[in-house]
Chains A and B, each alone.
Chain A
Amino acid sequence: MTSTSPQRSEKIQIKLFADPSALPPLESFIPVFHGWIRDKKLDELLIDVADYAHVHEGPGVVLIGHEADYSIDHADGRPGLLYVRKRGLAESSAEQRLIDAIQRAQRARALLEDDPALSGIRFSNDELLIRVPDRLHATNTDECFAEYQPTVEHALQSSSLNLNALQRVGDPREPLTVRATSR
């Protein structure tokens, strides 16, 4: 049996779900993300924008960065903002990394919600996905989830979101995925 340790991973994904009824067409995110690069909207190195609108339930439009990507993800037919931390913060604790990821996802969400070009886009406060796409350290199993759970609970407590019910979701071949909802 291989032991895992999700806390070791620098890779974290946070998905915030969008209200599908208020979602602008995918093309409208392309100029918005180009604008973020041009206007240095985030204190991260942003590189380019990739358009995958043609892919069914794919990453939609992706803002590619050095530390992290941001995509208008359509996985499982549920659109949302996916924050993809790829590297960095190796020195921080797992909890700090998770808190940082949630904060950055929330900041991007606020930028989107405030953008007049995206007319009324809204994200849910009642649900969030946390994923660790790093099979060296994390598998989508109950054992691994049990190991990660306290970290997730603490991180969520320090966020402004009131999410306290945790559940592992998805196929075991997928990355460790935790769904957080309000009880």
Chain B
Amino acid sequence: MSAANRKDASWKERLDGRMPEHLAREIDVFEGQIELKKQKKLDDKLFAETRLRRGAYGQRYDNGLRDDGTGQKPLAFPRGELTKGPDTVWDAPGMQRIKIPFGKLSAEQLEVLSDLAEEYSDAILHVTTRQDIQLHFIHIEDTPDMHRRLASVGITTREACGNSVRNVTACQFAGVCSTESFDVAPYAHATTEYFLGHPDVQDFGRKFKIAFSGCADEPCGLVTFHDLGAVALTQEIDGKIERGFRVVVGGGLGAVPVEAKVLREFCPAEELLPLSQAVARVFARLGEKNSRARARIKFLIQKLGIDEFKRLVDEERANLRPDERWNALLSDLSVTDEDPVRPAGDLPESSSPAFNAWAKTNLRPQSQAGYYVATVTLPLGDFTPKQGRALADLARTYTGDAMRLTVEQNIAFRWISGADAPAFFDKLAALGLAEPGASTITDVTACPGTDTCKLGIASSRGLAGELRKHLTVVQDQLDPAVRNLRIKASGCFNSCSQHHVADLGFLGVSRNVGGRKVPHFNVVLGGQWSENAKSYGTVVTAIPSKNVPKVVDAIAQKYAQEKHEDESFQQFFQRIGKSEIRKLLQPFSKPPSYEEDKSFYSDWGDPREYTIGDLGIGECAGEIVPFVEFGLQAAEQELHGAQDALDSGDSGAAAKAGLGAMVTAAKALVRYLDVQVRDDADDVVAQFRTHLHDTKLFHDPFAKGKFAQYLLITAANKTLDQADTEIARRTLDEAQLFLEAAHACYQRMEQQRASGGDSPSSPAGQPETP
């Protein structure tokens, strides 16, 4: 019986050969790091950033403390002394973010995600505001198997968090939209592939978010608040229609939202990847590394000015080493295409009021006649594994693998034949997922807030749930203009729900009232969702959480009664002004005293007396661990693997892995010198020779060039895979010494930098003649 079929087989054995090899290897390394951390052989910060880059985030109370309503109490986790990051207890539940590039999900992937939610989490799948899936209450030791099962269906969680390129997002209508210039999905796909694990994006001081939009007017892509945004455009050049993008940089939400600035009015499509790479390199080199609060690229651009930033990007672009992947990744623009499984058909007349109400808000015609995009509204972005499996069935029957997660925390099914829409609706209704009102006032978006986020100040999900309930009941009486407003609630100023671009945004704050704390929300009005989230809202005033539903009613009523014909909410708010609205909200702004009504002193859906004592330190920023330290760490891991191979008698594999470990360490050092290097071993060795060996930077004060020679000679050995035990053992011994030398070299270079000496990249002597 093969290992995979044994009763005691592990997931690793069972999925052997079903995962892309590089993903399988990365997950093994991660699992090795978990083991090392358990043995307390890894530094806290390093491990924290390692798991963050695998999407394994912290969660509220993971410092082992929680206020139970009568004061903060320790949570007695079994291995309380073991940690998975600074102040983060090993056994405490955490969150797993799962990157779904531009939200594109297949039926099989949805089934696996559902299985994972059921087995490792609390049986809820959550769609995020950046087209990801999150699972909560996960144990760190379960993550490697989860990652393997995801890898077996082509999903990686790599760089889902941490200071790296996050999920690349794009409108869910890309490819089927009547207003788009062209389908941006293959470009979003290429960008994802290009940057995943790319050496130039490992040394950021902060996260980097990329978004694509198919046109300038529709909101779906939301490019203006991204670090890098690309809006599809075409231009006629020499009588030919050429594809390209308006590229914008330096947008962002957070406490101080910033609108992205134009980097290129028209960047030809084939220039997209090199231009983005140049931006990434400038950011990695010059971005702030010490103060997280100022580390996003928007601050760098503010500091330099957009013109200087452009100049630096141009210069960087001119000096980039050509990379065949720039074109290769765009050679097949049909990679993201979907084939409908049902023939096109007209939407039939229906006498069902429920269907008609749903169709009005949740069905949108595609540019392909006879097909529609159906939006499945998920309350607060949540659904169950059972619903997930049933949705996978619906996808197979009606649309093929054509689902997209949306930034409004829903799932869009593309390629629904009009003729099938009523049957599709009935099946959704049976799943409890046929609620109308997609992208309307009832479709409230919320970040995790105090439910699970360490930074949450007020319960954004509690509020959102309450507003949904309340507005669903009254929606039929609402003015149509009011019905089309959008509401988004964030638990704190970090704005993860994207409340800045909602008509009615809310962000959690705490206020002292009579010596007690009361959860409040700042009311942020007039943000603009259209034209790719064109402008941000204005804070009007803070309102006790429990009064927010009343405030929504009051604003909605005033807008309905006083708006001019066709006046948008933004225009209305601008016309009547902030002080007028503040006056309107005045009566709601003071909570009753504690004695009068205690309910104001606890949050939505949480009977505990309100406190902000549970606030933790967020991991959004990740830990600043230099890339070189990761590289050296990974090299050691590879060397462990090599030793295992030798122990199991595979000397060829052992020798190759020993060389691999040296190459990994060499690459880390080369990158430290800011030299552009490709992933292949030959290039790493060549760059190492030029920049570290020939310059004597790698030279040991006593042994001189001896250790560098270990790499250079082993790399030149073309029969390494046939090594016998003796050669293999020697290779591993040499690799061990090489790694020691690499650490020492790194420390020397750091010292030199710290003492303000010459940049270590300048040659430290004449190149040695061979």
Once the chains bind, are B77 and A31 in contact (CB under 8 Å)?
A: no
A174 / chain B contacts, CB cutoff of 8 Å: 386, 389
Is A41 part of the binding interface, using a Cβ–Cβ cutoff of 8 Å?
Answer: no
Contacts A34-B68, A58-B384, A59-B123 given; indicate if A45 touches B608 (C-beta within 8 A). Answer: no
Is A19 part of the binding interface, using a Cβ–Cβ cutoff of 8 Å?
Answer: no
A37 / chain B contacts, CB cutoff of 8 Å: 68
Assembly CA distance A38 to B607 (angstroms): 12
One digit per residue, 1 when the CB lies within 8 angstroms of any chain A CB and 0 when it does not, for chain B 127-166 equals 0000000001101000001000000000000000000000
Assembly CA distance A31 to B598 (angstroms): 15
Nearest CB in chain B to that of A61: its residue: B605
Assembly CA distance A69 to B122 (angstroms): 8
Assembly CA distance A62 to B384 (angstroms): 13
Contacts A54-B380, A133-B118 given; indicate if A173 touches B8 (C-beta within 8 A). Answer: no
Segment from A1-9, A94-102, A121-129, A160-168 that makes contact with B = A1-9
Once the chains bind, are A2 and B61 in contact (CB under 8 Å)?
A: no
Contacts A52-B124, A56-B431, A64-B93 given; indicate if A34 touches B387 (C-beta within 8 A). Answer: no
Once the chains bind, are A87 and B118 in contact (CB under 8 Å)?
A: no
* Min distance, Cβ B210 to any Cβ of chain A, angstroms: 31
* Min distance, Cβ A58 to any Cβ of chain B, angstroms: 5
Interchain CB contact (< 8 A) of B119 among A11, A47, A171: A11
Q: From DSSP, what is the main secondary structure of chain A's interface residues?
A: loop
Assembly CA distance A48 to B11 (angstroms): 30
Assembly CA distance A57 to B386 (angstroms): 9
Once the chains bind, are B7 and A34 in contact (CB under 8 Å)?
A: no
Assembly CA distance A5 to B14 (angstroms): 14
Once the chains bind, are B93 and A173 in contact (CB under 8 Å)?
A: no
Enumerate B608-650 residues with CB–CB distance to A below 8 Å.
608
Contacts A48-B61, A53-B465, A75-B386 given; indicate if A66 touches B69 (C-beta within 8 A). Answer: no
A57 / chain B contacts, CB cutoff of 8 Å: 384, 386-387, 432
Nearest CB in chain B to that of A11: its residue: B119
Nearest CB in chain B to that of A31: its residue: B607
Enumerate A24-74 residues with CB–CB distance to B below 8 Å.
27, 30-31, 34, 37-38, 45, 47-59, 62, 64, 66, 69, 71
Contacts A37-B68, A47-B93, A136-B10 given; indicate if A56 touches B433 (C-beta within 8 A). Answer: yes
One digit per residue, 1 when the CB lies within 8 angstroms of any chain A CB and 0 when it does not, for chain B 256-293 equals 00000000000000000000000000000000000000
Q: List 30 A-B contacts (CB under 8 A).
A: A2-B5, A5-B7, A5-B8, A27-B605, A30-B606, A30-B607, A34-B606, A34-B608, A38-B68, A38-B70, A47-B75, A50-B136, A50-B137, A51-B451, A51-B605, A52-B124, A53-B465, A54-B468, A54-B469, A55-B383, A59-B123, A59-B124, A69-B122, A69-B137, A71-B123, A84-B123, A87-B139, A134-B119, A175-B118, A175-B119
Question: Residues of B with Cβ closer than 8 Å to A?
Answer: 1, 4-11, 14, 60-61, 66, 68-70, 75-78, 91-93, 111, 115, 118-119, 122-124, 136-137, 139, 145, 379-380, 382-384, 386-387, 389, 431-433, 451, 461-462, 465, 468-469, 605-608
